[in-house]
Structure 1
Amino acid sequence: MPTIFEIFGLRFFFFAEDHAPIHVHVVKGDDDAKIAIEPNIELVYNHGLKTRDLKRALKLADMYKEDIIETWKKYHD
């Protein structure tokens, strides 16, 4: 499970054998969410992240969208 980055206690990663479309998993403690990166930044599911952390995760996913896509492609190509 390659970690892309960790900010504010939110760890952004994907699974080694993950599937398209490009997305990230975000974990903080025991809580997690899945965020689609392509075609648009969009929440797929949230399992317990607090509203503040979820908003922050979505904003960070948008801010680092190009880095996430580049890391995904390097790993999966």
Structure 2
Amino acid sequence: MPTIHREYGLNFVVYVDDHPPPHVHVTGRGVAKIELEPDVVIVETRNLSKADVAKALAVVSLRRDAMLEAWKRIHG
């Protein structure tokens, strides 16, 4: 489970044997799952503050292309 980015105390992770659509898992004081395609969308959150969810969304929106590239590299 490679961490592809760290920011604001959050880890942005892609699981090696995960399923489409492309997405990242965010871990911090809770967890979230954010889809990268076709749009950046929060799929779920657990125990992550609203502020951290907003930060995670902002980071993924800003770095979407690089995260999508990492997801595709990891999944072939």
Scaled by the length of structure 2, what TM-score is found?
0.96
- Tell me the percent identity: 37
2:42 aligned with 1:43: yes
Tell me the CA shift for residue 14 of structure 1.
1.3
Aligned-residue offset at 1:40? 0.5
- Paired residues for 1:29-40 under 5 Å: 29=29, 31-40=30-39
What TM-score do the two structures reach when normalised by structure 1?
0.95
Q: Considering only aligned residues, what root-mean-square deviation do their CA atoms show, in Å?
A: 0.7
Specify every segment of 5 or more residues in structure 2 that has no aligned partner in the other structure, as ranges.
Answer: none
Q: Distance in 2 between matches of 1:52 and 1:21?
A: 25
Higher relative contact order (CA 8 A, sep 6+): 2
For structure 1, list consecutive stretches of 5 or more residues without a partner in the other structure.
Answer: none
Between the aligned partners of 1:56 and 1:66, the Cα distance in structure 2 is 17
Aligned length: 76
